[in-house]
Amino acid sequence: MTTKHRTMTGIERLRLAPRFDMGRKPIRQRSYLKPLTWILSFPAIWKHLLKITRIGMEDVRPPYLLLCTHMAFLDFKVTTAALFPHRASYVVAIDGFLKREWLLRNAGGICKRKFTNDIQLIRQIRHVLTEQQSVLALYPEARYSLVGTNAVLPESLGKMAKVLGFPIVMLNMHGNYLNSPCWNLEERGNRIAADMSLLYSREQLETSSAKEINETINKAFSYDEYRWQKENQIIISHPRRAEGLHKVLYQCPHCLTEYGMHSEGTTLSCSHCKKRWEMTVLGELKAIGMAEDESALSTEFSHIPSWYAFERQQVRKQIEEGTYHLDVDALVEALPNARGFIPLGRATLTHTKEGFTLQGTFGGEPFLLEKPTLSMYSCHIEFEYFGKGDSIDLSTLSDTYYIYPQGGQFSVTKIALSTEELYNHEREKAKGL
């Protein structure tokens, strides 16, 4: 796009770009697309020997609210198989609509900018359930599981479910994360399973409080992929099964150095103290390096989620001591609609107890985006997003900004953890805890 004398800058293109129409009523999945979803889904789930266990589902028919765990792209294919022969509408992040808005809309997709308070979404969900008498599939974790355990859920979920008043069905999937974890998408080929259960009937919703519903939903969302792997003796002998693991296990538990972890093949290592761990075929970690130091042969965390929990504790400690601070140079792109990303340029991303600040100069114009701590209970991150690097995205109701920190002294996993812990810390302060 050009003006009379020059090419438009990214910020000018963004200012003129039409925004994704979030207000359009959702389309009931077209009948002619149902066979296509089955063709795209069933070969994959047959390949992974999917077994679905249904609990209390004998008399359940659409419409209902389907809550699903979120681990990998395979989730959508499992969901399609679990719902067969019924169709559904899905809440999808805006980048899921990228270059395929027509298809996603006609397949029942409803667009959402992650971690924003979008009242309009509730109206669209109600329309699907009430007017279309269909299933509304929701993945409330809003991102792929980082270490095979459940992510934090929005506090408003129970209240929304009670207000809607339709049955709540839970789809808890197993093995999808193990097959292609978000830090290494190479498929492992393991078998998968899913539990589909009725959490609440309409009558039960009427007699339950929003708090009780929230507690039940959170309990239903509890999962641990590595525990499931060991309990079911799922052997994963992929030769690169540990590659990328340092993306989530960014801090060495032996020397406490951050951002010095590396992974290759089946091993994880620290570049500072040189300690090494092997990832076994059952998904456990075992210390194998630094034989001259007996303490280095001990395995701090054989269970990967326990290492991740340790990192969370370390982040929480920094927050409580007032030492947590992030200030990094970053490349920034915007996604105002489904047509494509608009490169904006370089900016500074700051994260403190006050929240996020993204500040820079794009095309000669000053730019400032602020996201206060209590406005985000979590954030969305990606690893090697479209080959551009690790990223974090921050959204307003009209724009989503994809931010790629530069240099080696950062971890988007730590940014995600700190977002959650800062939110919790500020909430506790506000309550006087």
Reading the block at residue 87, the tokens are 């169709």
CA–CA separation, 430 vs 156, rounded Å?
Answer: 18
Cβ neighbours around 26 below 10 Å, total = 22
Burial of 387 (0-12, 13-18, 19+ CB in 10 A): exposed
- pLDDT mean by block of 10 residues, the chain; 433 residues: 68 95 93 93 96 96 98 96 96 94 94 90 95 96 96 94 97 98 97 98 96 96 98 97 98 96 97 95 92 71 98 98 97 97 98 97 96 96 96 96 95 98 92 70
Instruction: Tell me the C-alpha distance between 418 and 42, whole Å.
Output: 39
Cβ-based neighbours of 147, under 8 Å, separated by 6 or more: 226, 248, 304, 305, 307, 308
> What single-letter amino acid sits at 390?
D
Is the backbone peptide bond immediately before 181 cis, with ω within 30 degrees of 0?
Answer: no
Domains and CATH numbers, the chain: 21-231 (3.40.1130.10), 245-320 (no CATH), 324-431 (2.30.29.30)
Kind and range of the H or E element at 198?
Answer: strand 193-200
User: pTM to 2 decimals?
Assistant: 0.94
CB 92 within 8 A of CB 110: yes
What's residue 296's pLDDT? Answer: 65
Q: What's the Cα-to-Cα distance from 7 to each of 339, 362, 363, rounded to whole Å?
A: 19, 14, 11
390's tokens: 């690790």
CA distance 30 to 89: 10
Exposed (0-12), middle (13-18) or buried (19+): which is 297, by Cβ within 10 Å? middle
Instruction: Count other C-beta atoms under 10 Å from residue 378's C-beta.
Output: 19
* Alpha carbon distance 168, 406 (integer Å): 43
> Which residues have CB under 8 Å from 383's CB, separation 6+?
182, 183, 244, 247, 390, 412
Tell me what pLDDT residue 1 has. 45
